Amino acid sequence: QKSMAELNVNGSSGGDANDDVLAGTHTEAVREMQKQATSLDSSTGGGGGSGGSSAATAAASAPPPDRANQILSAAGLTGRQDNTLDHVRQWSVSTYKCTKQLVSERLGKGSRTVDTDLEAAVANLRDSQKRYQALLNLAGGLARHFQAVLDTQRVLGEAFRDLARSDRDLSNEFGYNCETQRALAANGERLMSALNFFCQSLNTLVTKTFEDTLITVNNYEYARVEFDAYRADLEAANAGGGGSAKLDELRSKFEAQRTKYERLRQDVLVKIKLLDENRVRVMQKQLLLFHNAVSAYFSGNQTALEATLKQFSVRPMSGSSERQAFLEQPGPQQKQKQQQEQKRP
């Protein structure tokens, strides 16, 4: 402290007594930090001269506080911290305002912006998603059960084939039923391809198209709450007669929230319109595919079933074969009769 006082007296800076006290305090703090760093380094480094030399090296290599701030500023770390704090502060204020607005609306003390047409469209959108989700669940259940039927038909066909080989008295009858079950399973795979295509398209509509629109709806609803919260603050400030600077700030924030609210409202209207158009176009194609494929399969019309898959560009699970309708194929007995008739002169 004495050396610092002499320096201030003899120097040309001409500092006052407060500067002397601050300078002395700063010097003592720096010396104390150096002592602590030296003792810490000696304790961790095993003591001895190596600890003292490493402490001296660390003290010499450490940049001064001003230089450290310059490095942080050049790296952008200080600005990032400030931006993060600003975002946290803005988020906290916005969350508080929105929570307060929602509570006041629930208690009936606050007013809210009402858009009857848009709210009805949003309610219809959510109801449609639930209905299409239920339809998807039913279609998926049908596909799973039908797949189990196909597996059973294959196993049953193999059982008929084994019995046709072992039981010669009923080999023709068992063989006929074996081919029938094989034909049913083969064409069932084609229907299964149509069912899977229907379920995949419906799943895309429910989990992606609907969800994308509902995300925009959620953003719009949150913006509506923010808009009402800032509107309530502005009305309270106008009624309380606050300062002009505060009123101008609240008015600018209110205008920004209103612009955001109007933009998201327009986005919701556009997305709902596009969703309806896409939903109608997709479901018209998928419902026609479902109807034609199911009708062709259960009527035994293999040609119509293959034509349906080709019309809607559905890849069958198994290779298509050029055969008659699978319920109209001749059995082993009919084949023998045909062969005998062909051999007759």
> pLDDT digit string (tens) for 138-148?
999 999 999 99
Element (H, E) at 80: helix 77-107
- pLDDT band at residue 28 using 50, 70 and 90 as cut-offs: low
pLDDT at 217 exceeding the cut of 70: yes
Mean pLDDT (the chain) is: 76
* Joined tokens for residue 241: 């007669």
Q: Do 224 and 111 touch, CB atoms closer than 8 A?
A: no
Model confidence pLDDT, tens digit, residues 258-308: 999 999 999 999 999 999 999 999 999 999 999 999 999 998 888 899 999
Model confidence pLDDT, tens digit, residues 313-332: 888 765 444 344 444 455 55
Find, among 269, 121, 271, the residue nearest to 211 by Cα: 271
The angle at the Cα of 47, spanning 45 to 53, to the nearest 5 degrees, equals 75
**What is the distance between the alpha carbons of residues 335 and 142, in angstroms, rounded to a whole number?**
36
**What is the distance between the alpha carbons of residues 189 and 319, in angstroms, rounded to a whole number?**
10
Q: How many CA atoms lie within 13 A of 192 on its CB side?
A: 17
**What is the distance between the alpha carbons of residues 41 and 236, in angstroms, rounded to a whole number?**
60
Q: Do 51 and 45 touch, CB atoms closer than 8 A?
A: yes
Find, among 332, 334, 337, the residue nearest to 179 by Cα: 332
Question: 60-64, 87-91, 263-267 — which is least confidently predicted?
Answer: 60-64
- pLDDT band at residue 104 using 50, 70 and 90 as cut-offs: confident
Model confidence pLDDT, tens digit, residues 148-165: 999 999 999 999 999 989
| Domain spans in the chain, listed from the N-terminal domain onward | 2-62, 116-343
CA distance to 18, 199, 280, 295, 312, per residue, from 286 (Å): 85, 9, 10, 14, 9
Element (H, E) at 9: helix 2-10
264: amino acid identity, one letter: L
Report domain 116-343's class. mainly alpha
Q: Do 133 and 206 touch, CB atoms closer than 8 A?
A: yes
- Quickly count helices (H) and strands (E) in the chain: 11, 0
**What is the distance between the alpha carbons of residues 8 and 17, in angstroms, rounded to a whole number?**
9
Find, among 91, 100, 92, 87, the residue nearest to 225 by Cα: 100
* Joined tokens for residue 307: 């034509």
How many CB atoms within 10 Å of residue 156? 17
pLDDT at 192 exceeding the cut of 80: yes
For residue 327, the model assigns a pLDDT of 44
Backbone angles phi, psi at 115, to 5 degrees: -120, 95
- What is the DSSP-derived secondary structure letter of residue 63? P
**What is the distance between the alpha carbons of residues 72 and 61, in angstroms, rounded to a whole number?**
17
For range 206-234, the mean pLDDT: 91
pLDDT at 22 exceeding the cut of 70: no
Model confidence pLDDT, tens digit, residues 70-87: 444 444 444 555 678 877
